[in-house]
A and B are shown apart, each in its own frame.
Chain A
Amino acid sequence: MSDTQKQVLLEVKGLTMDFGGLRAVDSIDLTVSAGEIAALIGPNGAGKTTFFNCVTGIYTPTGGDVLLHPQGKPTRRVNGKKPNVITTLGMARTFQNIRLFSDMTVLENVMIGRHCRTNTGLVGAILRGAAARREEQETVEFGYHLLEQVGLAEFANEYSKNLPYGAMRRLEIARAMATEPFLLLLDEPAAGMNPQETDELDALICRIRDEGKIAILLIEHDMKLVMNISDNIHVMEYGKKIATGTPQEIKDNPKVIEAYLGEEADA
Chain B
Amino acid sequence: MEYFIELFLSGLTRGSIYALIALGYTMVYGIIQLINFAHGEIYMIGAFVAYIVCGVLTIYGFHGVSILIIAGLLAIVYSCAYGYTLEKVAYRPLRGAPRLSPLISAIGMSIFLQNYVLLAQTPDFLPFPALIPDFAFMEPIAHIIGSAELVILVTTMVTMVMLTLLIKYTKIGKAMRATQQDMSMARLVGVNVDRVISTTFIIGSALAAIGGVLVASYIGQVNFYIGFLAGVKAFTAAVLGGIGSIPGAVIGGLVLGLTESFAAGYVSSDYEDVFAFGLLVLILIMRPAGILGKATKQKV
Contacts and interface: CB of A to CB of B under 8 A. Distances in A.
A116 B173 contact: no
Interface stretch (A36-44, A87-95, A217-225): A87-95
A176 B182 CA distance: 15
A101 B185 contact: yes
B188 A122 contact: no
Nearest to B190: A116
Interface in A175-192: 175-176, 178-179
B173 A125 contact: yes
B92 interface: no
A71 interface: no
Contacts of A83: 184, 187-188
A82 interface: yes
A101 B181 CA distance: 6
A84 B191 contact: yes
A115 B179 CA distance: 13
A120 interface: yes
Contact of A111 (B174, B182, B185, B188): B174
Contacts of B89: none
B222 interface: no
A93 B188 CA distance: 7
Interface of chain A, main secondary structure: helix
Contact of A120 (B171, B178, B202): B171
Contact of A58 (B184, B191, B192): B184
A179 B191 CA distance: 10
Interface in B56-71: none
B191 A115 contact: yes
Nearest to B169: A136
Given A83-B184, A103-B181, A178 B174 contact: no
B190 A125 contact: no
7 contacts: A99-B182, A101-B178, A101-B185, A103-B181, A116-B190, A125-B166, A126-B166
Given A101-B185, A115-B190, A176-B189, 6 more contacts: A84-B191, A101-B177, A104-B181, A122-B199, A125-B166, A139-B171
Interface of B: 162, 166, 170-175, 177-178, 181-182, 184-193, 199, 202-203
Interface of A: 56-58, 82-84, 87-88, 92-93, 95, 99, 101-104, 108, 111-113, 115-118, 120-122, 125-126, 128, 135-136, 139, 175-176, 178-179
